[in-house]
Structure 1
Amino acid sequence: MPLKTIHLSNIDQTAAFPVETVFFYETTPDGAESTFDIIERVKRSVSEELLVPYYFMAGRLHFNVETKRLELVCNNAGALFAGATSSLSLKDLGDLSAPNPSFQRLVLRAEEFGSLPETPIFTIQVTRFRCGGFSIGFMTNHSILDGKSAVAMLENLAAICRGEGPRNVKLHVDRSCIRARDPPQIQFEHAEYMKPTEASSLVSPDQPSPSSFVSMLSKNYEYEVASLSLDMIDGLKERATAGCSSFQAVVAHLWRARTRAVFDDPSETSSVLFAVDVRSKMTPRVPDGFVGNAVVMAMASARVAELTEQPLGFAVKRVREAIERVTDEYIRSAVDWLEVNKGMPAIGHGNFIVSAWWKLPFHELDFGWGKPIYGGPVVSVMHECVLLLSDGKGGINIWLALEEEEKMKSFLSYVYEL
C-alpha cells in the first residue's frame, strides 16, 4: 500500500486518546486443548485478512506543524501484536465485570511508547490462561474509530477468526462529509466545547500528546460500580415523563445524583455531556461504512439548586432538549466552531461525560468459542467520564471514579434513591 495521508475531521481531533477493551472467553466443553491455537489464529487473522481493508490501522498519527492538526499517515508501520500465557485460571481473576486496574496487563498499552510517530493506533494482545480460557485485549485510538466503527472492525475480525471471512469491507475513510465550511459559519454557542485556553492541563499545541484530550489521569481515584436493573430503569422512566427513553432517564438520574455528591454551591451550574450519533442526522447522510468519529457532543445544563430540587422529569427534559438541538445545521456549526477554536469537550469543574457503551454489542463478539463471559473497557483514564455498560440482563452497570471517598459514598446513596 503506497504512503498516503488521511485527513482527520475536527471531531476526530477532539478524541486523540487510546481506548482499551478486553474480552474474556471460557474454554469449550472439549476442554483446554480446544484453544491451544488461539494466539496464532488471531495473529494470522489480523495480519493476513483484517489489515487488508483496514490498512490504515497499521498507520501512525502525525502532527502537522503547519496546519496545527493531527493527520493519519498510512505508512504501514504496523499494528502491534503480543501473545502471552498465564499460570492463572480465569476464576483466579475474580469478578471480570468489575473495574480492575490489573487488567491493563492484558492490553498492549499506547503509553509505553515515547513519541507520536512511534505510537501504534491499534494493538492486540491474546492471553491464554491455564484453564484454557483466554482474553483478547485491544487498544485503538479514538481519533480513528468511534464506538460504532470500532465494533464493526472487531466484528469483522471475529468473523475471520471463525473462518467466515470479513462481514463488511466496504469502508469509507474519507472524512470530507464532516469537513468545516469555508468560511466557517458558527450559528450556535456550543458551550459543550471549550477553547484550549480554558483547559488547565493541556499540552502545548506544538507538542501534542497521543492522549491530549485526557485532562487528568485517574490513578489516584477510587473506582466503583453501581448497578441499575431493568426494573429500576423502568421505574425511572415511569417517574420521569411519558415517552422517556432509557438513555434519557438514566443520564438524568446520574446527573442529579452526581451533582448532589460533587457540588456544594447551589448557585453553580452543573452540566452533563454525551455523544450524539450524527450518521442519520446530517444531510446528506453520512455514508454507510464510515470510518471515523460520526458523533458530536451534546450538553444539558442547569443550576445545582433547580436540578436537585426539581423532580427527575426536569432533568430528563433538559437531556431531551440537548439531544433535539443536534440538527444538521447544529452539527455543521459545531464542526465550524472546532475549526476556529481548536477546542475539546467542556469537562472538568464538576462537569462530566456519560458514555453509553451498553448500546454497543461488544458482548456479542464470538471469535469461535462463543460469546465472551465479559467484554468491555479496561479502567478508564478519565475521572470525568462515567461509563454505562450492559449487565447482560437488560440492566446497566455504571463505572465511575470520584476523587474523594465521601463524595463517592454520597453518589452511591443518591443513585439508589429510586
Structure 2
Amino acid sequence: MEATISLTSQDVTKQDPTALFSPKNPIPMETIFLSNIDQAVVFPVETVFFFQVPPTKASSTLNICEVVKRAVAEVLLVPYYFMAGRLNFNHGSNRLELVCNNAGVMFVGATSRLALKDLGNLSLPNASFHRFIHRPGLYKSLDETPLFTIQVTRFKCGGFALGFMTNHAILDGKSASEMFHNLASICRGEGLKTHVFPNERTSLRARNPPQIKFPHNEYVKIPKIPSLATSFTTQNQTSPSPLIFSNKYDHKLFHFTPSMLKSLKDKAITKTSSFEAIVAHLWRARTKVVFGNTDELSTVLFAVDIRKKISPPLLAGFVGNGVVTAFATAKVRDLVERPFCFCVEKVREGGERVTSEYVRSVVDWLEVYKGIPSTCNGNNFYVSAWWKLPFNELDLGFGRLVHGGPIVSGNDEFVLLLEGNGGGINVWLGLEREKMKRFMNHVFDI
C-alpha cells in the first residue's frame, strides 16, 4: 500500500472556534424524542471532503470560510435548528433526548501551509486527517458536546477541505448526506435543496407493552458489555472510549477490482449483489484468522435501511436514524468448510430478515434492554458501506470535489467499504498484527 502523509499541528493553523446559533430556534425551547434506534448509536461521525481549484481560480476561495459560515448561520440552521442543540440524559425517563437549547454549532476556519497535492492519494484512509475536523473535546459529557462541528481548511493552492463532525444519534448517513447537500446548495447561491424536514421520530416509538418476537443477536444488553473498546457507548457515558485509539492494530486497505467482485458473485452461484458478495467474503476470511474454536459462532453486522421496509413507511426526507443493525451468524466450521454460496446465503438472509415486524421487535427489544450493536466481544464486526452513500456529488460552487470519506479510527470493530477506482471497492480493515499477517493470506483467495 502507498505511504500516507502524517500531518502535524504545524501543517494546519486553526482559528478559535466560533459558536453559530439558529436564528429561528423554537420558543419555548423544544425537546425532541429520540427513538430507541437513535439511542443505540450515540457516537461521533467524522467526514472530510476535499475540493480542488484550478490555479487560475485560486483566489476565488480566499473567502471560502466566510461563505460556509454565513450559509450555516443564516440559512442552514433555520430548518436544522436542532443541530445547535445538545443531548441530555433524562433520569426520569431513563432516555436520551435532544434539547433544542441553541447552545450552538461550532465553526472553525483554518489554513494549511500545504497544497492539496502534498496530501498524496486522498483515497487512502489517513487517521491524521483528523486535523481537518474540529473535535470539541473527546471526553466531555454528552450535554456539553456539540452535535455538529464544521471546519473549513484552505490550502495554499486555493483548494480546501470541508470537515464535519455529527452525532449518529441525530443523523444517519442518508440524513447527514441530505444536510451536506443542502449546505452545498446554499453556498452555490441556490438556497435550500429541500424544504420538508420530517424530524418526528415518535413513529418509531416502542409498543406498550413491548412485543419482542425475534431473537436479537445483533444487539447486546448493556449489563453484559465488557470493558473492551467499542464505538457504541452507553446512553449516559462520555464518548468515545480512550481505547478506540489504541495502536495495537494494523490497518490496511484492500482494493477489490470489478473483475474480482464479478468472480465473487459468480462463486455465489445464485444472483447476488456486490455488497452481499464482498461481506460474505470478508466474513469468511476474517473468521479464519480470528477464531480458534471451530464450534464457536461468528457474526457479521451491517446496516439495513428501513425507510421503505417499515409500515407505514418513514416520510421522504426523514431526519434521524432510518436504519437498523442486521446480522448473519454461523458456526466457524460451516463458514470455513462449506461452499462460498453458504456464506452469501447467510448474509442475504440477514438482510431479508429485516421486515416491518422485525423492526418493531428491534425497537421493543431496545426499549427493554437499552442495548447497543454487538461488536464488543472482540470477534464480531460491523461492515459500514460508505461507498453506497450519496456523498460524491457534493458541489459548493467552488472547485471540484476530488474525494470525500470518513476519518478512520484505531479499532478493529468496523470494516469500511469505500469507493474504489474504476467501479471497484476499497476495504479498510484493522486487526491485531499477527492476525493481520494471517488475514493477508486469505483476503484475495477468490
CA positional deviation for 1:381: 5.3
Matched, 1:292 2:320: yes
Tell me: CA distance 1:206–1:294, structure 2 relative to 1, closer, same or farther (3 Å): closer
Between stretches 363-372 and 139-148, larger displacement belongs to 363-372
Question: Cα offset for 1:113?
Answer: 6.0
Structure 2 letter corresponding to 1:217: I
In 2: Cα distance, 1:48 partner to 1:359 partner: 31
Distance apart, 1:219 and its partner CA: 2.8
Contact 2:141 2:237 in 1 (8 A): no
Query: Which whole-Å CA distance do the structure 1 matches of 2:45 and 2:35 have between them?
Result: 18
Q: Which residue number corresponds to residue 334 of structure 2?
A: 306
Q: Distance in 1 between matches of 2:72 and 2:382?
A: 32
Q: Counterparts of 1:54-69 in structure 2 under 5 Å?
A: 54-69=80-95
What corresponds to 1:9 in structure 2?
Answer: 35
Q: How does 1:7-46 map to 2 (within 5 A)?
A: 7-46=33-72
What is the rounded CA distance, in whole Å, between the counterparts of 1:308 and 1:112 in structure 2? Answer: 40
For the residues of structure 1 that align with 2:348 and 2:233, how far apart are their CA atoms? 36
What's 1:272 paired with?
300
Which residue is 1:231 aligned to? 259
Question: SS in structure 2 opposite 1:326?
Answer: coil
2:426 maps to which residue?
397
Q: Which amino acid aligns with 1:386?
A: V
1:258 is aligned to 286
Moved over 6 A (4+): 202-206
CA distance in 2, matches of 1:76, 1:51: 10
- Matches for 1:17-416 after TM superposition, within 5 Å: 17-112=43-138, 114-201=140-227, 207-211=236-240, 216-220=243-247, 221-347=249-375, 348-380=377-409, 382-402=411-431, 404-416=432-444
Gaps of 5+ in 2: 1-24
| Alpha-carbon distance between aligned partners in 2 of 1:206 and 1:328, rounded to the nearest angstrom | 25
Cα 1:72–1:276 change in 2 (3 A) is: same
Instruction: Render the CA deviation track for 1:290-330: whole Å, top value 9, x for unaligned.
Output: 11111111110111111011121110000111111111111
CA distance 1:266–1:315, shift in 2 (3 Å): same
C-alpha contact 2:233 2:239 (8 A) present in aligned 1 = no
Moved more, 133-142 or 388-397: 388-397
Q: How many residues align?
A: 415
AA in 2 matched with 1:301: T
AA aligned to 1:71 is: E
TM-score (norm 2): 0.90
Structure 1: 5+ residue runs without aligned partners? none
Please give the alpha-carbon distance, in whole angstroms, between the structure 2 residues aligned to 1:42 and 1:141.
20
Q: In the TM superposition, what is the alpha-carbon distance from 1:407 to its structure 2 partner? A: 1.2
Distance 2:372 2:394 in 1: 32
Higher mean alpha-carbon deviation, 391-400 vs 7-16, is at: 391-400
| Deviation per residue, 1:120-167 (Å, 9 max, x gap) | 000000000111111010000000000100100001111111111111
Deviations 1:59-107 (A, max 9, x none): 0011111122111000111100000011111122222121212111110
* 1:158-205: CA deviation from partner (whole Å, max 9, x where unpaired): 111111111113011110111100000011111111101221128996
Question: What is the distance in 1 between the residues matched to 2:38 and 2:236?
Answer: 18
Shift of 1:114: 2.2
Relative to structure 1, is the Cα distance of residues 28 and 4 closer, same or farther in structure 2, using a 3 angstrom cutoff?
Answer: same
**Cα distance in 2, alignment partners of residues 409 and 364 from structure 1:** 37
